[in-house]
């Protein structure tokens, strides 16, 4: 975990960046008109969008479970960890929720922390590859601009970097003898992470992971399309896929927790390229943001509180003063 000073620095930088992008998103908008558009939202379609987001996280949980190859840990637990990780990212800077996901998986599956973190890296890499692919298709088929090209190039650079990381892991592990002697926590974590990334990958496994990723992001696009229709914003499904790719790939830009500000600017800018006026685009982005942010924050936060309370009860009722590994896992 980052140090307290590091977390403070991330928060300051993220909030400043988020505030700048939020100002860019609202500076020329008629906020009264934005409010009028939001007030016209059709609740039924918004509810369907929220349900679609729930399916997105189920698909991502199923993908992560396949990557981790831990059939003893139920899919429901992976779903809980996935949503809880999103909830943490919603309120804390620096993607700390992804680090905690690795910790929770390590405890639940009784696997080394480094290996668990390796599964999270692979999980995120699948999202990156698919989102960059969707963005490239969108640039060709839907809209383009200088900043979109820059975003696509940055995404491609990240994909190449991740590919180089996997290649390095394979070469590094293949050229060294496996040493299980304890040399400190950090070295063990790095070693286990590299070994997880160096595991042989079959074409079937890669195809399954990427297929689940495509399904997840197309479902996300369905949710975006439903939100647009609820507000009377006339966009095609191809436009919704394009905007979803921009929003989720662009969210990698350092920002405030929950991507407040960055998300709104990306939504306004991308919808502007497909002919949606400023006020309708801003209203759409606000409602879309709320449609996944509020349920994941409440649901994931509640799951963390319930699991923590359950772990405390088990420890208090235990006959011995110490805590067992299972209790620790339950508390996490």
Name the nearest CA neighbour of 130 among 244, 27, 281, 251.
Answer: 244
pLDDT digits (tens, 9 = 90+) for 35-93: 999 999 999 999 999 999 999 999 999 999 999 999 999 999 999 999 999 999 898 87
**What whole-number distance in Å separates Cα of residue 213 and Cα of residue 133?**
11
**What whole-number distance in Å separates Cα of residue 103 and Cα of residue 10?**
21
Residue with tokens 């369907």: 48
pLDDT digits (tens, 9 = 90+) for 174-194: 666 555 555 677 777 888 888
What's the confidence (pLDDT) of residue 74? Answer: 95
- Find all residues with CB under 8 Å of 269, minimum gap 6, and list them: 147, 246
pLDDT digits (tens, 9 = 90+) for 264-316: 989 999 999 988 999 999 999 999 999 999 999 999 999 999 988 887 887 87
pLDDT digits (tens, 9 = 90+) for 139-167: 888 877 888 888 888 889 999 999 998 88
**What whole-number distance in Å separates Cα of residue 306 and Cα of residue 60?**
22
Tokens of 149: 């090209």
Give the pLDDT mean for 246-251. Answer: 87
- Is pLDDT of 325 > 50? no
What's the confidence (pLDDT) of residue 185? Answer: 72
Other residues' Cβ atoms within 10 Å of the Cβ of residue 275: 11
Least confident of 115-124, 211-220, 249-258: 249-258
What's the confidence (pLDDT) of residue 327? Answer: 47
What's the confidence (pLDDT) of residue 9? Answer: 63
- Find all residues with CB under 8 Å of 32, minimum gap 6, and list them: none
What's the confidence (pLDDT) of residue 328? Answer: 45
Assess contact for 196 and 117: CB atoms under 8 A.
yes
Assess contact for 64 and 119: CB atoms under 8 A.
yes
Tokens of 214: 């495509």
Q: Please provide the DSSP assignment of 214-273 as one string.
A: HHHHHHHHHHHHHHHHHTT----HHHHHHHHHHHHHHTTS--SGGGTTHHHHHHHHHHHT
Q: Please provide the DSSP assignment of 308-324 as one string.
A: HHHHHHHHHH-SSSS--
Least confident of 22-26, 93-97, 177-181: 177-181
Residue-averaged pLDDT of the chain? 86
- Find all residues with CB under 8 Å of 149, minimum gap 6, and list them: 139
Name the nearest CA neighbour of 67 among 205, 261, 172.
Answer: 205
**What whole-number distance in Å separates Cα of residue 159 and Cα of residue 67?**
18
From residue 114, alpha-carbon distances to 83, 118, 187, 250, 261 in Å are 21, 6, 10, 27, 33
Helix (H) / strand (E) element for 171: namely helix 146-174
Categorize the per-residue pLDDT at 332 as very low, low, confident or very high, splitting at 50, 70 and 90.
Answer: very low
Other residues' Cβ atoms within 10 Å of the Cβ of residue 154: 15
pLDDT digits (tens, 9 = 90+) for 198-222: 888 889 999 999 999 999 999 999 9
What's the confidence (pLDDT) of residue 176? Answer: 61
Give the pLDDT mean for 97-112. Answer: 92
What's the confidence (pLDDT) of residue 329? Answer: 43
Categorize the per-residue pLDDT at 117 as very low, low, confident or very high, splitting at 50, 70 and 90.
Answer: very high
Residues of the chain above pLDDT 90, percent: 53
Q: Write down how long the chain is.
A: 332
Largest CA distance in the chain: 67
Residue with tokens 């209790």: 327
């Amino acid at each position: 975990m980052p140090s307290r000073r590091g977390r403070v620095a991330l928060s300051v930088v993220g909030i400043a960046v988020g505030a700048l992008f939020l100002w860019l998103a609202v500076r020329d908008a008629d906020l009264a008109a934005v409010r009028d558009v939001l007030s016209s939202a059709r609740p039924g379609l918004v509810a369907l969008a929220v349900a679609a987001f729930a399916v997105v996280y189920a698909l991502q949980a199923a993908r992560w479970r396949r990557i981790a190859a831990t059939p003893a840990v139920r899919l429901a637990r992976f779903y809980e960890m996935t949503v809880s990780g999103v909830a943490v990212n919603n309120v804390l800077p620096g993607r700390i929720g992804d680090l905690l996901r690795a910790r929770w998986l390590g405890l639940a599956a009784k696997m080394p922390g480094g290996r668990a973190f390796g599964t999270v890296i692979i999980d995120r890499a699948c999202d990156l590859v698919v989102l960059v692919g969707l963005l490239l298709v969108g640039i060709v088929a839907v809209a383009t601009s200088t900043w979109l090209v820059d975003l696509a190039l940055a995404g491609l650079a990240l994909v190449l970097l991740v590919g180089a990381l996997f290649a390095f892991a394979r070469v590094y592990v293949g050229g060294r003898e496996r040493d299980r002697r304890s040399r400190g926590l950090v070295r063990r974590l790095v070693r286990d992470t590299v070994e997880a990334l160096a595991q042989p990958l079959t074409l079937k496994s890669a195809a399954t992971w990427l297929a689940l990723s495509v399904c997840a992001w197309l479902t996300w696009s369905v949710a975006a399309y439903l939100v647009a229709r609820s507000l009377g914003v006339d966009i095609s499904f191809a436009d919704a896929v394009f905007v979803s790719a921009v929003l989720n790939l662009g969210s990698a830009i350092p920002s405030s927790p929950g991507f407040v500000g960055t998300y709104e600017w990306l939504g306004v800018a991308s919808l502007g390229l497909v002919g949606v006026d400023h006020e309708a685009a801003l209203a759409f982005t606000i409602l879309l943001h709320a449609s996944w942010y509020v349920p994941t924050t409440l649901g994931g936060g509640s799951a963390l509180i319930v699991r923590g309370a359950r772990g405390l009860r088990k420890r208090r009722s235990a006959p011995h003063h110490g805590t067992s590994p299972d209790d620790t896992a339950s508390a996490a």
